[in-house]
């Protein structure tokens, strides 16, 4: 019985625990990439919102947060489509600018509270 329990603990350590650590690291990297590429339009300044945040504030009229980092309704596939294809005034973001793995990390960061 002890051997089975040890084996189970070993399997959890080897296969399950890395997934938890990867999530934290994905979110941290996602925040760094977001701050490098997205925050310049989708952030908040002392004097008021930046263009992307301002536009979303007008669009949602307070029904949803204008700051992307405060949203809890963003679907991962929607984020991917908007980043890669653009939307209204938002330009497309090429894979040479933000790689697919970095985009996955941004998605992990923006959906962390869902």
Helix or strand run (H / E) with residue 45 = strand 44-45
Considering the domain boundaries, does residue 3 fall inside one?
no
| CATH of residue 69 | 1.10.760
Considering the domain boundaries, does residue 91 fall inside one?
yes
Please tell me what DSSP assigns to residue 91: P
pLDDT at 111 over 90: yes
C-alpha–C-alpha distance, residues 91 and 14, integer Å: 41
Tell me how many domains the chain contains: 1
Residue 59 is predicted with a pLDDT of 93
Read off the pLDDT of residues 23-77 as tens digits, 9 standing for 90 and up: 579 999 999 999 999 999 999 888 878 999 999 999 999 999 999 999 999 999 9
Considering the domain boundaries, does residue 20 fall inside one?
no
Considering the domain boundaries, does residue 61 fall inside one?
yes
User: What is the band of 16 on the pLDDT scale with cuts at 50, 70, 90?
Assistant: very low
Considering the domain boundaries, does residue 74 fall inside one?
yes
Would you say 83 and 76 are in contact if contact means Cβ atoms under 8 Å apart? no
Considering the domain boundaries, does residue 93 fall inside one?
yes
pTM for the structure as a whole: 0.74
Residue 3 is predicted with a pLDDT of 53
Considering the domain boundaries, does residue 43 fall inside one?
yes
Considering the domain boundaries, does residue 5 fall inside one?
no
Work out the percent of the chain whose per-residue pLDDT is above 90: 69
**Domain residues for 60?**
28-110
Reduced to 3 states, what is the DSSP secondary structure of residue 37? helix
């Amino acid at each position: 019985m002890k051997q089975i329990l040890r084996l189970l603990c070993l399997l959890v350590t080897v296969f399950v625990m890395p997934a938890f650590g990867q999530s934290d690291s994905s979110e941290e990297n996602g925040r760094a990439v977001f701050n490098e590429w997205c925050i310049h339009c989708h952030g908040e300044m002392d004097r008021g919102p930046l263009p992307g945040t301002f536009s979303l504030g007008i669009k949602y009229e307070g029904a949803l947060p204008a700051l992307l980092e405060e949203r809890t309704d963003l679907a991962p596939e929607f984020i991917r489509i908007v980043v890669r294809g653009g939307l209204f005034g938002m330009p497309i973001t090429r894979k040479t600018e933000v790689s697919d793995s970095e985009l996955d990390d941004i998605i992990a960061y923006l959906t962390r509270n869902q």
